[in-house]
């Protein structure tokens, strides 16, 4: 029971911290919100160097921003709520020293990325089975494998 309470406390802190950061970005210095959605901003955290480098070599996808794939884009409010939550998780893990050796996509993140793939490529995938993850076949789009050709 004690573990359950601490889990909810941490979740509550993350949510309120995220909302505070969102309010600061929205009401803070001009253009701060726009700057925080740029790939350069995402790359400013040294643990994201590999992902940024891979993205910058990703062909057509290097013209889009990290948030275009990694945040919900079907609803503006949902976009900024998750931007706040994900941003606070990143800040907390970075400043607590609990950054994983290898950055991986969470279950929620995978659903968001899949949804954004389908949203952007709706016409192309309209006749396809979209229950499979797009990057299962398009392996070269994953940050760690950018530029490699999958043989299958």
Q: Is there a contact between 98 and 90 (Cβ–Cβ < 8 Å)? A: no
Tell me the H-state helices in 28-148: 32-35, 39-43, 49-56, 66-70, 76-96, 107-120, 122-125, 134-137
**What does residue 5 show for φ and ψ, rounded to 5 degrees?**
-65, -40
Q: In the prediction, which pLDDT does 115 show? A: 94
Domain positions in the chain are 2-145
Q: In the prediction, which pLDDT does 150 show? A: 45
Rounded distance between C-alpha atoms, residue 68 and residue 54, angstroms: 16
Q: Rounded to two decimals, what is the model's pTM?
A: 0.72
CATH fold label, 2-145: Multiheme cytochrome fold (1.10.3820)
Per-residue pLDDT of the chain (152 residues; tens, 9 = 90+): 555 567 788 888 888 887 887 777 666 676 777 788 888 888 887 678 888 888 887 777 888 899 999 999 999 889 988 988 888 888 888 888 888 887 888 899 999 999 999 999 999 888 888 888 888 888 766 676 555 444 44
CA distances from 143 to 27, 99, 117, 131, 134 (A): 33, 17, 15, 21, 14
Q: Which residues contact 30 (CB under 8 A, 6 or more apart)?
A: none
């Amino acid at each position: 029971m004690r573990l359950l309470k601490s889990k909810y406390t941490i979740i509550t802190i993350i949510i309120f911290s995220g909302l505070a950061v969102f309010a600061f970005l929205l009401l803070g210095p001009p253009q701060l919100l726009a700057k925080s959605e740029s790939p350069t901003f995402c790359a400013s955290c040294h643990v994201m160097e590999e992902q940024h480098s891979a993205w910058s070599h990703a062909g057509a996808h290097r013209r889009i921003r990290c948030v275009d794939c990694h945040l919900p884009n079907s609803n503006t409010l949902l976009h900024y709520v998750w931007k706040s939550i994900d941003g606070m998780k990143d800040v907390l893990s970075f400043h607590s020293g609990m950054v994983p050796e290898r950055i991986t996509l969470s279950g929620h993140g995978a659903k968001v990325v899949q949804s954004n793939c389908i949203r952007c490529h709706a016409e192309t995938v309209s006749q396809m089975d979209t229950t499979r993850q797009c990057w299962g076949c398009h392996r070269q789009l994953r940050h760690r494998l950018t530029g490699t050709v999958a043989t299958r």
